[in-house]
Amino acid sequence: MSTDTLDLDAGWRLHPQVAIRPERFGALLYHFGTRTLSFVKTPTLLDVVQRLATAGSARVACVEAGVTPVEMPSYEKALAALASSKMIIERAA
Amino acid sequence: MTVLPLVDEFALGLASPICLTWELTYACNLSCVHCLSSSGRRDPRELTTEECKRVIDTLERMQVFYVNIGGGEPTVRPDFWELIDYATAHHVGVKFSTNGVKITAEVAKRLAASDYVDVQISLDGATAEVNDAVRGTGSFATAIRAMENLHAAGMRNFKLSVVCTRHNIGQLDELKAIADRYGAQLRLTRLRPSGRGVDTWGGLHLLPRQQRELYDWLVAHGENVLTGDSFFHLAAYGQALPGLNLCGAGRVVCLIDPVGDVYACPFAIHENFLAGNVREPGGFQDVWQTSELFADLRRPQTGGACRSCSSYDACRGGCMAAKFFTGLPLDGPDPECVKGHGEPALAAVGAGSAPRPSLDHSHRTAPATAPAGAVHLTILDRRPPVSACEENPLAGLDI
């Protein structure tokens, strides 16, 4: 899988070792296992990330957070970046 | 709500620091000539174990994900491991900087077993000759032994931290090879004229051609080499280096010193950059969120004399501490401005007029400082070897 794509129809969740700190611009994510920091650059993306665990799929989480079809590719790219740094992981089916 | 570029959001400050430096003690077994905190002797007012735990409670509440613990040599505090365990149990990750003196095989095993603790070994040269000239006799061997122990224990991706100087800049490939040999990640940081560095920076800081050499080397190595964001002034050469590329002082980082004083940055131990103390009623959170100094730093900066420079958006005027301790105005060029604006500015600073650090905990028995501009090898020839004499904070300890 390239870094710009991710299976939007799969279920995703935050990695159990990741903590979220909401900020005005979005949030900071910190992974205690890899000791890396990521920036969630919009409040909408934070909303998406927080919905991942309970939404049926990443696409559903995006729609519930108000992401429009036009915006979907950029959110997919952002989620793919979070997946490549292990901040989010695919849920067991 | 206005959405600003991330770097501008950070410049305006965050509700909590992204990370902070916490120096646990001014005691140190070494007397490095460039020590940013002029460490050596313990300060009798240092925070107690209980006070340190209250700070950790605050950091947990503020969701400060990790702290960079340093000193002094933090591992010489008798409660060091207790505090590390307390921090990690309270969801505050720890990366601590050490010269390696306490990293025995046994300690290394314990560190390798923890996901929440990272270690940074300080080494300022790829050979004992270059390293020990700055960090003291035997310090190269101590650091190498610590890395051998960490590697043997299975610790991966610990950091090998190097302060770049005129004398080690030609050894970057060798330093990278040392890091690779022990499964460590190389971290290069900028020498600042802070602490004992006020007296040695003149003779140790990079020459202009060496700055270019470093920049090219960093660009070639990309994100494989860490820099603690300390070379953002080099962005004026062209492309930005990986990282935030801004001065985070009081905005996204700060320093808690061993007596609980909160400074804007670890390189700015001076009363002008003192925001408060964690012993005050509101604790660290109140200092971070309400200090006037930090509020000032979070206001949009004007750029001053640098504003008309085509590179201002890249370097943002450089390092506040470097300017301050070399006597330059804070809204002017960095002393190491890559456009060459630093040299004439430095030449205009009157001899002896640059500010001095507010504190000095240097060993009285091993004076490590020398006049600015002196050739450092000459300085060091005059220095007595570091030894466990009676005034040494480590006297009587098995090191």
Chain B contact for A41 (CB, 8 A cutoff):
yes
Q: Is B130 helix (H, G, I), strand (E, B) or coil?
A: helix
Top-confidence residue, B244 or B58: B58
Does residue A19 register a pLDDT over 90? yes
Q: Give B315-334 pLDDT, tens digit per residue.
A: 889 999 999 999 999 999 99
C-alpha distance from A32 to closest chain B C-alpha (Å): 6
Flag whether the pTM goes above 0.90. Answer: no
Q: Give B100-131 pLDDT, tens digit per residue.
A: 999 999 999 999 998 889 999 999 999 999 99
Top-confidence residue, B373 or B357: B357
Least confident of B88-102, B103-117, B179-193, B379-393: B379-393
Cross-chain residue pair B15–A23, CB shorter than 8 Å:
yes
Tell me which residues of chain B, numbers 79 to 108, contact chain A at a CB-CB cutoff of 8 Å. Answer: 91, 93, 95
A28 to chain B: closest CA residue: B18
Q: Give A34-66 pLDDT, tens digit per residue.
A: 888 888 989 999 999 999 999 999 999 999 999
Listed in sequence order, the DSSP H helices in chain B are 6-11, 49-61, 80-89, 105-112, 128-135, 139-152, 172-181, 197-204, 208-221, 283-290, 292-297, 312-315, 320-325, 342-347, 376-381
ipTM: 0.84
Cross-chain residue pair B3–A42, CB shorter than 8 Å:
yes
Of B4, B18, B118, the CB nearest to A28: B18
B253-273 as b/e, with b when 16 or more CB fall inside 10 Å? bbbbbbbbbbbbbbbbbbeeb
Under 8 Å CB-to-CB from B377, ≥6 apart: which residues? Answer: B133
Residues of B in contact with A17 (CB under 8 A): 115
Task: Could you list the beta-strand ranges (E) of A7-91.
Answer: 12-14, 18-23, 26-31, 36-40, 88-90
The strands making up A36-40's β-sheet, listed across from edge to edge, are: A18-23, A26-31, A36-40
The answer to whether the beta carbons of residues B91 and A19 sit under 8 Å apart is yes
Give me the mean pLDDT over the B216-241 stretch: 89
C-alpha distance from B303 to closest chain A C-alpha (Å): 24
Structure tokens belonging to residue B222: 């990309």
CB atoms under 10 Å from CB of B113, counted, come to: 11
- Please give the mean pLDDT across all residues of chain A: 92
Q: How many beta-carbon pairs below 8 A join chains A and B?
A: 39
Does residue B145 register a pLDDT over 90? yes
Q: To 10 degrees, the CA torsion angle through B191, B193, B195, B198?
A: 140
Under 8 Å CB-to-CB from B84, ≥6 apart: which residues? Answer: B69, B94, B96, B117
